Amino acid sequence: MIRADLHNHTLAAHGRDTVAAMYEAALGSHLEWYGLSEHSPLPPGYACPLYTGDLTVTFPAYVDAVLALKESAPTDGPRVLLGMELDWLPVNAPWMRKILGHYPFDYVIGGLHFVQDVPVGSPRSWGEGIALPQRFARYAAYYEEMARLAASGLVDVVAHPDFIKVCCYDDFQAWLKQPGSLDLIAGALTAMRDSDTAMEVSSAGLRKSFHEPYPGPAIMEIAADLGLTISFGSDAHAASETVSHFEELARYARSYGFKNNRIAVAREKILLDF
């Protein structure tokens, strides 16, 4: 049984429900720990077409709501954790460090949503004008950047390690079969291991048409061989998605030999069995 869900969003960015409504959904589950991990505000000059809220305004309100929930949550419910999904923008390291130092986070998830300033989660970034060689080059750049994210020491977890497949699943599967592709991925995962950063295993992909977790089997095999630590998340953007497909996710992780997952409380690491 998965006891902790560390990846959940609210209406502060592009979710559909409040902090309170998200937690209410977790009350009916077997969770012992419930983490909210809203997207970080973006620096000037950056915009994600998927975000509907102004995070410079809504993020502080989100933090206040989570901190209040920590105080008011029922003692027989999941313990509340304050997290953030940090948008990794390496040219804006001072911006990222400022946000990290401004709030009392229990943990920070590193999300790689931009590659060379391209928002890879947007369908518009993968239109017909993006030829296959350009797509393959973008996948390679994604894992080169992921290695730098993992080695930075700024985050506790690297989110959805093959999120880049979300709008181009078939092309990504073709790239995985190219010479050197798995070596690039292994480099990123090795950086996670060497920096003691957990790899997220997420059920969000099970809600997509391709019905495959993040990460897919090829990456899970490498992670298991390297002895990575994992973290679980639903990446829920609505109360109805909280802990979705977690039984399937637990079976998936166990099938690769994983028996433990990690959370962080006040940035201190705690290992849980599942």
Q: Which domains does the chain have, with CATH numbers?
A: 4-273 (3.20.20.140)
Confidence at 43, pLDDT banded by 50, 70, 90:
confident
Label residue 214 left, alpha or beta by phi (over 0 means left) and psi (-120 to 50 means alpha). Answer: beta
Cβ distance 51 to 5 under 8 Å?
no
18-22, 44-48, 164-168, 260-264: the lowest-pLDDT one: 44-48
pLDDT at 53 over 80: no
CA distance 45 to 114: 13
Residue-wise pLDDT tens digits, 118-169: 999 999 999 989 999 999 999 999 999 999 999 999 999 999 999 999 999 9
Give all strands (DSSP E) within the chain, no chain letters. Answer: 4-5, 33-39, 79-87, 107-111, 114-115, 118-119, 157-158, 198-202, 230-233, 260-265, 268-273
Among the listed residues 209, 163, 206, the one whose alpha carbon sits nearest the alpha carbon of residue 188: 163
Least confident of 90-94, 177-181, 195-199, 237-241: 90-94
Q: What is the Cα–Cα distance from 87 to 99, expressed in whole angstroms?
A: 11
pLDDT of 261 strictly over 80: yes
